[in-house]
Structure 1
């Protein structure tokens, strides 16, 4: 759900390799890549936090309140939503699940198509911060 976070907010030139979860560590080692979103890696789930949370923390991106709100929404869509109970998460999760049913030929195409949604959510988050609603419109 959050592969583009690295490219969008950390490194616009980042390249993602999509491989089955059981091959991530071997491919990462072989390619000199950073493993992400699998069990036991730095940029994975930790407790109730998801990979997007780990990426923001590792790269010092938690000072942007709009990005923090986006992280809460992404977290809720990618987990059981019990950490922040962010109402917008249900919408993001439904849209992300819907994209999986659209028949994209590979994960790169799926990820590229989904980014318009993440851009829209980020724009929403920036507006919420500007309107002094840093926890979102539904709080």
Structure 2
């Protein structure tokens, strides 16, 4: 596993899987994690690539990046597992999960992306959505 305080690098203009994955890394894996954006060719030089084609921490098999991270870091939290289903469906649209929240969370992230030009700002705002989702799922579980 990457050491604490690593810089995690993904493609510019993050969408649901990348934002959710950054939230997971920061909240459950490495509170000191930092994030950067780069094209796929430069990502490995700038830090630990995630959600980039061929990256260790990316899509594998039927899993989106968020699911890969949950498995690799051994996260067992029930609410995180529910969020994994939401992110999977919003990212892949393959019908594997039928979480009703997927459409709304995806729409909220797309709205933030449309209204936010700075990628770091977009990541922070998107992570706040996942903080709220995690909190409300506590009430349901």
TM superposition shift of 1:51: 0.6
TM superposition shift of 1:47: 2.8
Equivalence for 1:97: 110
- Post-superposition Cα deviations, 1:108-134, rounded to whole Å, max 9, x if no partner, equal 1101111221111111222221xxxxx
TM-score, normalised to structure 2, is 0.79
Bigger relative contact order (CA 8 A; separation at least 6): 2
TM-score, normalised to structure 1, is 0.80
Q: Distance in 1 between matches of 2:133 and 2:43?
A: 32
Instruction: Report the RMSD for the aligned CA atoms in angstroms.
Output: 1.5
Q: Distance in 2 between matches of 1:69 and 1:27?
A: 29
* Within-5 A mapping of 1:1-139: 1=16, 2=20, 3-20=22-39, 22-23=40-41, 26-28=42-44, 30-31=45-46, 33-61=47-75, 63-102=76-115, 104-129=116-141
| Regions of 4+ moved over 4 Å | none
Q: Distance in 2 between matches of 1:27 and 1:54?
A: 18
Aligned residues: 122
Report SS of the residue matched to 1:83: coil
Instruction: Pick the structure with greater CA Rg.
Output: 1
| Structure 2 residues not aligned, in runs of 5+ | 1-15
| Structure 1 residues not aligned, in runs of 5+ | 130-139
Q: Distance in 2 between matches of 1:39 and 1:27?
A: 11
Report SS of the residue matched to 1:16: strand
